Amino acid sequence: MKLDKNLKILIVGLGLIGGSYAKGLHKQGYKVSAIDTNEDSIAFALQNDIIDNGSTEVDPKLVGEADIVVFALYPHVFKEWIEKNQHLFKSGAVITDVTGVKSCIVYDIQSMLRKDVEFISAHPMAGREVYGVRNSDDKIFKEANYIIVPTDSNTFDAIEICKGIGETLGFARISSLPPKAHDEMIGFVSQLTHCIAVCLMTCSKSEHLVDYTGDSFRDLTRIARINENMWSELFLLNKDALLAQMEKFIGEFNEFYEILKEEDTEKMKEKMIRSTARRALFDK
């Protein structure tokens, strides 16, 4: 199977990311259907020409005719769905996902899945501080990274299809990482930063912050608006990797604290020079 516009794509979970996938793929000419338990989400997507077909129930016809199924669900809901409904998949279907943590889910899904269906995992590193299909927007992918997370059991064809989805959606960079390396990286660049943003908002009781905050504080706390159900689940599922990244950050932060306390200007400047050089690479 190769990715082409005659393939039928089913999105399971029509939230912000599922909705943005549907929008982007549908715009590019794909037949897109969706399943979501929320009636309003399906109605909205149908009315706004985001999907061709939709159902609030696990419709055997929609599942059975899909060549590609994209899961955009909470990790534990994803696993339950596969357990309960995988008998409905079309033989030869390719399954992918958008889950933000991988080690805890990829191997489980692959080992429980029917052998005539293949799961190739992916992580679109995009999001917004608002939720639901009504806020979906395929433009969020334009500047974003798309990471394919294959295991040894994935085939070249499935990896190519997964890559093709990322290309079709217009991601800026497409790369590939094994599950463990993915989770360490995510623990650092995404989860640690969300922990920091939350702690910045909760560590001070000042009610008048908004009167004085400059861009710095706004930038560092934008992601402090956080879906507590999704993120607490993602944090727990990646607990060991995240704790390790938090320890690394605390160690560095405590070192900076001591340097300031001792008024060691030279060491402070060294750190600032290093951070400036590393950050400059992002702006090239």
Q: For residue 2, state whether it binds a second copy (rule: CB under 8 A).
A: no
Shortest CB 162 distance to a second copy, Å: 17
Question: Alpha-carbon Rg of the chain, whole angstroms?
Answer: 21
Q: What is the C-alpha to C-alpha distance for residues 227 and 127, in angstroms, rounded to an integer?
A: 11
CA distance 134 to 271: 44
Q: Please, what is the minimum distance in Å from the beta carbon of residue 29 to a second copy?
A: 28
Q: Which amino acid is at 211?
A: D
The nearest distance, CB 175 to a second copy, in angstroms, is 6
Give yes or no for residue 167 binding a second copy (CB under 8 A).
no
Q: Could you give the CA distance from residue 65 to residue 78 in angstroms, rounded to a whole number?
A: 19
- What is the closest distance, in whole angstroms, from the C-beta atom of residue 58 to a second copy in the complex? 28
> Residue 159, interface with a second copy (CB under 8 A)?
no
Quickly list H helices, 144-214: 156-168, 179-186, 193-202, 209-212
Pairing between β-strand 145-149 and β-strand 121-125 as defined by DSSP bridges: antiparallel
The footprint of a second copy on residues 181-200 (CB under 8 A) is: 185, 188-190, 192-200
Q: How far apart are CA 70 and CA 197, in angstroms?
A: 30
Stretch that binds a second copy, among 22-30, 62-70, 156-164, 239-247 (CB under 8 A): 239-247
The reply to whether 210 sits near a second copy by the rule CB under 8 A is: yes
223 binds a second copy (CB under 8 A): yes
- Spell out the residues 6+ positions from residue 4 whose beta carbon is closer than 8 angstroms to its own: none
218 belongs to the binding site for a second copy (CB under 8 A): yes
Burial class (CB in 10 A: 0-12, 13-18, 19+), 238: buried
Stretch in the footprint of a second copy (CB under 8 A) among 40-48, 78-86, 158-166, 213-221? 213-221
Footprint (CB under 8 A) of a second copy, residues 88-147: 125-127, 129, 143-145, 147
As measured in angstroms, the least distance from the Cβ of 250 to a second copy is 7
* Residue 175 lies near a second copy (rule: CB under 8 A): yes
C-beta of 53 vs 103, nearer to a second copy: 103
Say how far apart CA 65 and CA 115 lie, in whole Å.
18
Q: Return the sign of the alpha-carbon dihedral for residues 124, 102, 77, 85.
A: positive
CA distance 221 to 283: 21
Q: How far is the CB of 269 from a second copy (least distance, A)?
A: 4
Tokens of 44: 């909205």
Q: Does 243 bind a second copy (CB under 8 A)?
A: yes
Residue 227: CB minimum distance to a second copy, A: 8
Task: Considering only the stretches 22-30, 51-59, 81-89, 251-259, report the one whose residues sit in contact with a second copy under the rule CB under 8 A.
Answer: 251-259
The count of residues interacting with a second copy (CB under 8 A) is: 86
Question: 107 or 131, CB closer to a second copy?
Answer: 131
Task: Name which position in 46, 88, 159, 201 contacts a second copy (CB under 8 A).
Answer: 201
Least Å from the CB of residue 187 to a second copy: 11
Q: Residue 210 has which token pair?
A: 């908004």
Specify whether the CB–CB gap between 94 and 113 falls below 8 A.
no
28 binds a second copy per the rule CB under 8 A: no
